Amino acid sequence: MRYYDLRISSPDGSKVWAPTPKGNGFTQSSKAKTTFTSHDGNTLIPGALNIEFDVPTIPFNTPQGAAMVRVQGIGLGMISQASQLAGQSIRLMAGMKKGLPLATTAAPFAGTILEGTIYQAFGNWQGNDQTLEIICYPEAAQKDQDISFYWPAGMSLATALATVFVQAFGSLKMQTKIKIADLSMPADGSGHYTLLSDLADYIQQISQKLGAQQFGDDYSGVLITIVGNTIFAYDSENPLPTITLNFRDLIGQPTWIGPNTINFKTVMRSDITNGSVIKLPEKGLVTPYVLTSQAAAVPNQPIQAKAAFQGTFLANEVHQFGNYRQPDADSWVTTINAVSQATASS
């Protein structure tokens, strides 16, 4: 069962922008818990507004732009107040609630996929369609940051990054998770940055050169990304925990898009992010639809029970695509680019 919860609040989080009782505008309330949602607790709201979004989660050394959220079916009062939302905080939770057929108690897929600041908000009115459009970034990824980086000779990169994250983003109450190889510089390194993407680009390039000497040319370097209000620093030597997919989680067939790189879709889930190691299923649910070769099309062949892509893959780019009211499976998915951790079986 699809689920979303969009919360727009004041920068300090004390007041939530909630629809008025008649739905003809916004009011700022210290008692409201959310702005728009599909569920009241665990109870589905049949008349929940449609929401569309494109939320990228990518390493900041290769930025791809902002996240986009669109809410359909709003009133004219909300359209007139849209410009007031710029600079406000935003949090989007999405995924699948418990229910048939895709979310279970053991694997609840719903969670926070976006947390940040609204960069721009505007209303649109075209025919019968009235929408609220929101462009937003993680708060730490905003322009004009004051990021001073100092990496003394002999100090581990993990320690240097922990220090700069606390100094630069401590006031934003960002959490920090750093799991990287033990890398150090032979000489002091330093710099001042106004964009997290610039720092991330420098860290990836210098750490890749250092790490390649220890781990080989395939070493990714240290990558920095943001999920919700957490900054992650990771590398190919220390990925995030492995997530094992069931065949029913996949939407369509994985596809090779480059050397050792695949793209695949799953039903929308918040637990997969950059640095996650994903183990693809070895067997399908109904074997005639999971083929690996022409020989697999022959009836009663054991190979026909195997999935075409097997093994583990390291996610390096994740997109959340949602259109709540669109009924097809492709309209509520997590799309992942991932690099092979080992040769996939065929």
Answer yes or no: same fold for 142-234 and 240-340: no
23 sits in the region (left: phi over 0; alpha: psi -120 to 50; else beta) called: left
Q: Are 164 and 97 within 8 A, CB to CB?
A: no
Structural domain boundaries of the chain? 2-137, 142-234, 240-340
- According to the model, what pLDDT value does residue 151 have? 92
pTM above 0.75, yes or no: yes
Which residues, in sequence order, are CB contacts of 328 under 8 Å at separation 6+?
none
Q: Which residue has the higher pLDDT, 34 or 344?
A: 34
Q: Which two tokens stand for residue 57?
A: 């989660």
The pLDDT tens digits of the residues spanning 222-272 come to 999 888 788 889 888 887 778 988 888 889 888 999 888 999 999 998 888
- According to the model, what pLDDT value does residue 284 have? 55
Class of domain 240-340: mainly beta
Handedness of CA 203, 209, 210, 215 (dihedral sign): positive
Q: Are 306 and 282 within 8 A, CB to CB?
A: yes
Sheet holding 230-234, edge to edge: 175-179, 230-234, 223-227
Which residues, in sequence order, are CB contacts of 234 under 8 Å at separation 6+?
178, 179, 180, 222, 223, 225, 240, 274, 275
Three-state SS at 336: strand
Which residues, in sequence order, are CB contacts of 180 under 8 Å at separation 6+?
157, 158, 161, 207, 222, 233, 234, 235, 237, 238
- In the 3-class helix/strand/coil scheme, how is 235-297 assigned residue by residue? CCCCCEEEEECCHHHEEEEEEEEECCEEEEEEECCCCCCCCEEEEECCECCCHHHCCCCHHHH
- According to the model, what pLDDT value does residue 304 have? 47
How would residue 294 be classed by pLDDT, with cut points 50, 70 and 90? very low
Q: Which two tokens stand for residue 317?
A: 């780019």
**Please, what is the average pLDDT of the chain?**
85
CA 262/CA 89 separation, integer angstroms: 34
- According to the model, what pLDDT value does residue 185 have? 87
- According to the model, what pLDDT value does residue 308 have? 64
How would residue 10 be classed by pLDDT, with cut points 50, 70 and 90? very high
- According to the model, what pLDDT value does residue 17 have? 96
Q: Are 303 and 344 within 8 A, CB to CB?
A: no
CA distance to 2, 29, 93, 157, 246, per residue, from 110 (Å): 9, 25, 7, 33, 17
Longest Cα pair distance anywhere in the chain, in angstroms?
A: 65
Task: Name residue 57's beta-bridge partners.
Answer: 318
Three-state SS at 161: helix
Least confident range from 97-111, 263-277, 301-315: namely 97-111
Q: Which CATH architecture has domain 142-234?
A: 3-Layer(bab) Sandwich (3.55)
139-162 average pLDDT score: 89
Residue 193 has pLDDT above 70, yes or no: yes
111-139 average pLDDT score: 91
Q: Are 231 and 169 within 8 A, CB to CB?
A: yes
- According to the model, what pLDDT value does residue 102 have? 54
Q: Which two tokens stand for residue 321?
A: 């695509």
20-26 average pLDDT score: 88
